[in-house]
């Protein structure tokens, strides 16, 4: 069956674009390689509490995400940052009250970021969405071949996946060298990161006047924050791992054990008794990152749409993802910016 538009990728940008097209009455289909929607947004639950294994925050001054939360009646709350920050030196020595909470003032969503995905997906008819459908080839004629062997056709194709992932798709004809070089040069935001979440029966560190924030030069987590829900009825700590991808690969249980030891050093022996421990290693998610992402950029990259990625196949092949957004690149807000710009341009062309 042929469609006007095929969106490849069911993360925030792809879903937001699909919701815009649905509201406008456009003909589209959304194709997602995973068996779930959300892309880099992944939220797990322990009882009624939600914990993000992907992005957790947004900030004041990011109006699209705030408006989306309001649209779906998702309660917003501030990141917990009351109490002392902890610092761990190379030998495991602990200092209190050093530095400041880097995420103070950031905002979180009740139900986790997956609440956005649920809200968007509920606005899209299920028949428009194809899960478990990795794309194998894309031709200039608009034919899309899936790993299952099924084929789809579309007049326009939107790649709502990280550019380095898009570079791994087989195109017919092969994309020009400058296009491939531009795709592979764009780092996947947080693509080389791993995030560990430990869940506890309560946020016990608060009893000791600790915020749950910590910086460490010993590790395995280099940066730690309170991940508890707004109610505080259950506790959570999460850490960004500082162990390089090639070292941590294949050692999930050892990394988890080392992280719990570290939490105990920082916050006390109660940290040794988590209810659950989750580790999400994005570096080895083939639908998120490539081997190039195992080396993280030194800072926040200067994102946007390179000239080489404009007007491919006479404008029939385009990119809609946070890394190509004209503003807020790398953030969830950037994914919504990209979707907004794409939807506006597409509907103008249809008219």
Reduced to 3 states, what is the DSSP secondary structure of residue 120? helix
| 222 and 313 together in one domain | no
What single DSSP character describes residue 316?
Answer: T
Cβ-count burial 40-70 (b if 16+ within 10 Å, e if not): bbbbbebeebbbbbbbbbbbeebebbbebbe
Residue 154 domain flag? yes
Q: What CATH number should be reported for the domain holding residue 322?
A: 3.50.50.60
Q: What is the pLDDT of residue 145?
A: 94
Confidence (pLDDT) at 351: 41
Last residue of a domain, one of 257, 287, 317: 287
- Residue 88 in any domain: the answer is yes
> Last residue of some domain: 287, 311, 327?
287
Verify that 160 and 259 share a domain, yes or no: no
Please name every residue paired with 8 in a beta bridge, in sequence order, or none if there are none. 31, 159
Structure tokens given for 41: 């947004």
How many contiguous H segments (helices) and E segments (strands) does the chain have? 8, 19
Q: Long-range contact list for 85-89, CB < 8 A, 24+ apart?
A: 85/211, 85/213, 85/214, 85/215, 86/210, 86/213, 86/214, 86/215, 86/266, 86/267, 87/214, 87/215, 87/216, 88/214, 88/215, 88/216, 88/217, 88/218, 88/262, 88/265, 88/266, 89/217, 89/218
**239 lies in the same domain as 263:** yes
CATH number, domain of 242, equals 3.90.660.10
Describe the crossing of helices 63-71 and 114-122 by its angle, rounded to 10 degrees. Answer: 60
Structural domain boundaries enclosing 122:
1-41+113-188+297-351
The DSSP bridge partners found for residue 225 are: 238
Q: Are residues 209 and 242 in the same domain?
A: yes
Asked if residue 129 and residue 174 are part of one domain, the reply reads yes
Helix H or strand E encompassing 319: strand 317-319
**Domain count within the chain:** 2
209 and 301 in a single domain? The answer is: no
Q: Are residues 211 and 237 in the same domain?
A: yes
Is 213 inside a domain boundary? yes
Average pLDDT, consecutive stretches of 10 residues, N- to C-terminus, the chain (351 residues): 93 98 96 98 97 97 98 98 95 87 93 98 96 96 91 96 98 97 97 97 97 96 97 95 95 97 98 98 97 91 96 96 97 98 82 41
Given this model, what pLDDT does residue 100 score? 72
Which of the listed residues 287, 309, 342 is the one where a domain comes to its end? 287
User: 204 with 282, same domain?
Assistant: yes
Which pLDDT value is given to residue 22?
A: 97
Does residue 103 sit in the same domain as residue 214?
yes
Q: What pLDDT is stored for residue 20 in this prediction? A: 97
Res 298: pLDDT: 83
Q: Is residue 203 located within the same domain as residue 130?
A: no
120/91 same-domain check: no
Is 292 part of any domain?
Answer: no
Residues 6+ apart with CB under 8 A from 160: 7, 8, 9, 10, 11, 13, 14, 17, 319, 320, 321, 339
The answer on 316 and 168 residing in a single domain is yes
């Amino acid at each position: 069956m042929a469609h006007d538009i095929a969106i490849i990728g069911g993360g925030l940008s792809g879903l937001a674009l699909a919701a815009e097209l649905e509201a406008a009455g456009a003909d589209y289909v959304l194709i997602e390689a995973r068996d779930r929607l959300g892309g880099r947004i992944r939220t797990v639950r322990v009882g009624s509490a939600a914990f993000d294994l992907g992005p957790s925050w947004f900030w004041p001054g990011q109006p699209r995400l705030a408006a989306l939360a309001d649209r779906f009646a998702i309660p917003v709350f501030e990141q917990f940052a009351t109490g002392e920050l902890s610092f761990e030196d190379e030998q495991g020595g602990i200092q209190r009250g050093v530095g400041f909470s880097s995420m103070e003032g950031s905002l979180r969503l009740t139900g986790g970021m997956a609440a956005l995905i649920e809200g968007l997906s509920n606005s899209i008819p299920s028949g428009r969405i194809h899960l478990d459908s990795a794309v194998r080839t894309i031709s200039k004629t608009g034919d899309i071949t899936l790993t299952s062997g099924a084929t789809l056709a579309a007049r326009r194709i939107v790649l709502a996946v990280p550019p380095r992932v898009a570079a791994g798709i087989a195109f017919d004809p092969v994309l020009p060298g400058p296009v491939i070089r531009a795709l592979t040069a764009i780092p996947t935001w947080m693509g080389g990161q791993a995030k560990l979440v430990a869940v506890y029966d309560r946020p016990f560190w608060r009893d000791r006047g600790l915020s749950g924030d910590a910086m460490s030069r010993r590790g395995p987590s280099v940066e730690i924050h309170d991940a508890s829900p707004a109610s505080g009825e259950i506790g959570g700590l999460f850490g960004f791992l500082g162990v390089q991808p090639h070292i941590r690969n294949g050692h999930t249980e050892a990394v988890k054990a080392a992280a719990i030891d570290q939490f105990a050093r920082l916050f006390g022996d109660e940290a040794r008794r988590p209810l659950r421990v989750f580790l999400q290693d994005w570096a080895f998610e083939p639908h998120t990152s490539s081997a190039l992402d195992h080396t993280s950029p030194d800072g926040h990259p200067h994102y946007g749409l390179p000239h080489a990625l404009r007007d491919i196949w006479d404008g029939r092949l385009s990119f809609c993802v946070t890394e190509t957004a004209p503003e807020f690149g790398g953030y969830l807000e950037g994914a919504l910016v990209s979707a907004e710009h794409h939807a506006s341009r597409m509907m103008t062309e249809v008219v």
